[in-house]
Chains A and B, each alone.
Chain A
């Protein structure tokens, strides 16, 4: 009969834990930046990876569709920022003028001299929805041919799509130059929110002044990414506990039965691809603006696999687990990079093992160990028997018996 008290306690512990986590997340950049901006930069990248992992979690975790080409949507988001928030469009038009003058002049007429001169520079408020929309559309386009595939076959086809996207970006510099090919697109506009540049005004030494405070640019980006991450976590949670979320899980558990229960499996699958891609697109556009530069080499198969590893290692389908997985796998390799060489210098006086080599080694070893010790992930969803609902029902059963 002390069950309600216990339930109240776990709830209180949860809220306290969450509050502590939020507090740490908010204070972190102020504590870390005195030790160097690189620490905050690592956290920035980790937040982007968490967004990606949460997006992939919708496809792989909820709907059970193994997608090995997820990085394609990150690339599409990043290139959206690259095209529509940089002088790139101007060089595209110039390239058209040189190769196909008729089309080139038509484009100049269409866009006007301003764009032909300086390119398109959309604001954050346009770039994020545009990146989400484009990635979502590509999610549907790449998802549609795979609708009848499952398991291994789906994985191979999505892997192909991921590589195709990267190779496209790599080769769209001829006959007309659109993406600059392997050189990538640079001079992407930093993000501006209400006139405040997150990269700092020119000449300020990358310092952002806000409400009388000044902080390094990486800190400003950190807070933006943190807010976006929070929003994506919120959306994921809401989706999970909805009619749609249940339809995705039903699809994962048994596609035939899901169909027989009246779920339009085709639409629900495409929606999963689209939602997952949307998150990836948003993260990608942020990545592009944050780096100021995008190139195809950021979007290799290895990256797709790394994101999948975050989802699987964290706890597939369980949002807190996926966040944990993303945070760990994104930060630990960077930490190693910072720690390995100084330690070796200290101990042996010279560097025996290159940080990059050791990083790969330990990364692989960590994955194997975690999968052996905790096959369901570091933080899998608790057994349904422990869910509050089950406890309530158990109580009701106890009462009827008594």
Chain B
């Protein structure tokens, strides 16, 4: 498993071994609750990286810290070897990390296509002047946004739903739409917060296939997931959090046998 992901990393030009995302010493507290303490993470390019842990372990907090939604108390963050300060979500998105949300957050009254078009915002530039005068560059950019959005909808398998209002899509399609919208920001790292939550077995298979296609497209994925079967089959590496601390890190098979992980999930007696 590891050699395979290393080969993929090498094929994507990552011969010098610089991790795509490196987090070290990340801490965050809410009042008296230490949600994260000294959490570290290293994701190689081309990997699917899993983040698991019992409820309340701090997975989503770590997500929010990485993507700039929460300001960390401490921690170093590097994207492709370049330090970045996760101070504002839009800057993190521009730097190349896109995310989805645990409870889907689409722009409900917009169509599926428009949702994805919003995702292109960060890679495009037309302002008031271009909007009002619609000069050649503005028209070209608008057409490119629309084409790319449609392309991404097709990629996510919901191209036929482009004109539907987002809130009227089925649950699984909403999840796919959120992924398509995140992909529209051309991310280096796609961070998915429980993408399979609430999905049935068929939808999960479809999702798995979509995530693999995104990986094969040259992107790196970080996912929080509760479905152990999905995580074990999909991820190249896994970090396990409990009470805001990393309790295990490694290949899925090794993590699964780790006594600390078993204790965290099933209680210390087992």
A247 to B114, CA, bound (A): 10
Closest beta carbon of chain A to B268's beta carbon, Å? 37
Q: Say yes or no: B105 contacts A254, CB within 8 Å.
A: yes
User: What is the CA–CA distance of A244 and B134 in the complex, to the nearest angstrom?
Assistant: 13
- Surface stretch bound by B, among A18-26, A303-311, A388-396: A388-396
Determine how close the nearest CB of chain A comes to the CB of B49; give it in whole angstroms.
Answer: 19
| A246 in the interface (beta carbon within 8 A) | yes
B99 close to chain A: CB less than 8 A: yes
Q: How does the 8 Å CB contact mask read for B111-154 relative to A, with 1 for contact and 0 for none?
A: 10110011111111011101110100010011001000000000
Contact indicator B94/A249 (Cβ below 8 Å): no
Q: Annotate A371-402 by CB proximity to B: 1 below 8 A, 0 otherwise.
A: 00000000000011101011111101100100
With both beta carbons as reference points, the residue of chain B lying nearest to A392 in the complex is identified as B163
Q: Is the CB of B121 within 8 A of A384?
A: no
Q: What residues of A have a CB within 8 angstroms of the CB of B113 in the complex? A: 389
Of B3-11, B19-27, B85-93, B257-265, the one contacting chain A is B85-93
- Given A243-B131, A393-B162, also A262-B110 (CB < 8 A): no
Within 8 A of A (CB), among B157-192: 160-165, 168, 181-182, 184-185
Partner among B107, B126, B132, B138 whose Cβ is within 8 Å of the Cβ of A257: B107
Q: In chain B between 49 and 70, which residues have their CB closer than 8 angstroms to a CB of chain A? A: 67, 69
Pick from A238, A242, A245, A400 the residue with the most CB of B within 10 Å: A242
Main secondary structure of the interface of A (DSSP, over half): helix
Residues from chain B with Cβ under 8 Å of A397 in the complex: 160
- Contacting A at CB under 8 A, from B244-258, are none
Q: Which residues in B have their C-beta under 8 angstroms from that of A263? A: 90, 118, 121-122
Q: Is the CB of B142 within 8 A of A243?
A: yes
> On chain B, which size bracket covers the interface?
35 or more
A window 227-261: CB within 8 A of B: 235, 238-239, 242-247, 249-250, 253-254, 256-261
Q: Could you count the A-B residue pairs with CB atoms below 8 Å apart for me: how many are there?
A: 135
Residues of A within 8 A of B93 (CB): 259-262
C-alpha gap A253/B114 in the complex (Å) = 12
B8 to chain A, nearest CB (A): 27
The verdict on A173 contacting chain B, using a C-beta distance below 8 Å, is no
Interchain CA distance A332-B206 in the complex, whole Å: 57
* Distance A10 CA – B160 CA, assembled complex (angstroms): 23
- Contact size range, A: 35 or more
8 A Cβ contacts from A260-294 to B:
260-265, 271, 275
Contacts of A239 in B (CB 8 A): 128, 131-132
Which residues of chain B are near A254, meaning CB under 8 Å?
A: 105-108
User: Which chain B residues lie closer than 8 Å to A271 at the CB level?
Assistant: 128
A83–chain B nearest beta-carbon distance, Å: 27
Chain A residues with CB below 8 A from B126, complex form: 242-244
Is the Cβ of A257 less than 8 Å from the Cβ of B101? yes
Complex Cα distance A262/B181, Å?
11
| Cα distance, A9 to B116, chains bound together (Å) | 30
Bitwise interface map of B from 176 to 220 toward A, beta carbon under 8 Å scored 1, else 0: 000001101100000000000000000000000000000000000
Contact partners of A249 in chain B: CB under 8 A: 107, 109-110, 114
Query: Which listed residue, A238, A250, A260, A385, touches B110 by the CB 8 Å rule?
Result: A250
Contact with B along A3-41 (1 / 0, CB 8 A): 000000000000000000000000000000000000000
Per the bound structure, the CA–CA distance linking A391 and B160 in Å amounts to: 11
Bound form: Cα–Cα A245–B114 in Å: 11
Asked whether, in the complex, the Cβ of A246 is within 8 Å of the Cβ of B128, the reply is no
Quick one: closest B residue to A244, CB to CB?
A: B131
Q: Please give the distance in Å from B114's CB to the nearest CB on chain A.
A: 6
| A242-B110 contact, Cβ under 8 Å, with A262-B121, A393-B160 | no
**What residues of A have a CB within 8 angstroms of the CB of B101 in the complex?**
256-257, 260
Instruction: Please state if B98 and A260 are interface contacts (CB–CB under 8 Å).
Output: yes
Known: A238-B132, A257-B107. A391 touches B163 (CB 8 A): yes
Say whether A275 contacts B118, CB under 8 Å. no
**Residues A253 and B111 in contact, CB atoms below 8 Å apart:** no
CA distance A238 to B111 in the complex (A): 18
Complexed CA–CA distance, A393 and B165 (Å): 13
Assess whether A238 is in contact with B121, with CB atoms less than 8 Å apart. Answer: no
A261 touches B185 (CB 8 A): yes
Q: In the assembled complex, which residues on chain A have CB atoms less than 8 Å from the CB atom of B122? A: 261-263
- Chain A residue numbers with a CB within 8 Å of B110 are 246, 249-250, 253, 384
Residues of A bordering B, CB below 8 Å: 235, 238-239, 242-247, 249-250, 253-254, 256-265, 271, 275, 383-385, 387, 389-394, 396-397, 400
Rank and list the top 3 A-B pairs by shortest CB-CB distance, nearest first. Answer: A262-B122, A390-B163, A242-B131
Could you name 23 residue pairs across A and B whose Cβ atoms are closer than 8 Å? A242-B131, A242-B138, A243-B141, A243-B142, A244-B131, A249-B110, A250-B107, A250-B110, A253-B108, A254-B108, A256-B101, A258-B107, A259-B88, A260-B101, A261-B118, A261-B181, A261-B182, A262-B121, A262-B123, A384-B164, A385-B163, A389-B111, A396-B160
Q: Give me the interface of B with A, judged by CB distance under 8 Å.
A: 67, 69, 88-90, 93-94, 98-99, 101, 105-111, 113-114, 117-124, 126-128, 130-132, 134, 138, 141-142, 145, 160-165, 168, 181-182, 184-185
